[in-house]
Amino acid sequence: DSGVTQTPKHLITATGQRVTLRCSPRSGDLSVYWYQQSLDQGLQFLIQYYNGEERAKGNILERFSAQQFPDLHSELNLSSLELGDSALYFCASSAGLAGEGSQYFGPGTRLTVL
């Protein structure tokens, strides 16, 4: 158990809909990262938050947004969903801001868009 929790584990929805994925980091970790894993793109970094502030952006679509709350949990919002958004979404946390800390991953949320 990495100590990172993600809900829900599975999500099935229809095209055009909006969903919210939730992540709670390990105790004491201030950084939260979101990654998308798909068959064609592999594991890709989406966005990073550190202590409530956005710190880095990767290949995140404009239809996607995220935030980190004062209790450090984070939510990833996906809107106007398309079939191609079907993927495994991971959240990871680390203690620090940059790469000096190890990143521990949650169990992931498998999103299926029908």
Partner 1 sequence: AQKVTQAQTEISVVEKEDVTLDCVYETRDTTYYLFWYKQPPSGELVFLIRRNSFDEQNEISGRYSWNFQKSTSSFNFTITASQVVDSAVYFCALSGGSQGNLIFGKGTKLSVKP
Summarize as ranges the residues that interact with partner 1 (CB under 8 A): 2, 31, 33, 35, 42-45, 48, 55-56, 58, 88, 90, 92, 94, 96-108, 110
Residue 86 or 104: the one with the smaller Cβ distance to partner 1 is 104
Q: How far is the CB of 94 from partner 1 (least distance, A)?
A: 6
Q: How far is the CB of 56 from partner 1 (least distance, A)?
A: 6
Contacts of residue 30, defined as CB under 8 A and 6 or more positions apart, other chains included, come to 50, 51, 72, 95, 96, 97
Residue 15 or 59: the one with the smaller Cβ distance to partner 1 is 59
Residue 15 or 112: the one with the smaller Cβ distance to partner 1 is 112
- Determine contact, residues 108/89, Cβ cutoff 8 Å: yes
Q: How far is the CB of 31 from partner 1 (least distance, A)?
A: 6
- Determine contact, residues 108/2, Cβ cutoff 8 Å: no
Q: Say what the alpha-carbon torsion angle 22, 25, 30, 36 is, to the nearest 10 degrees.
A: -60
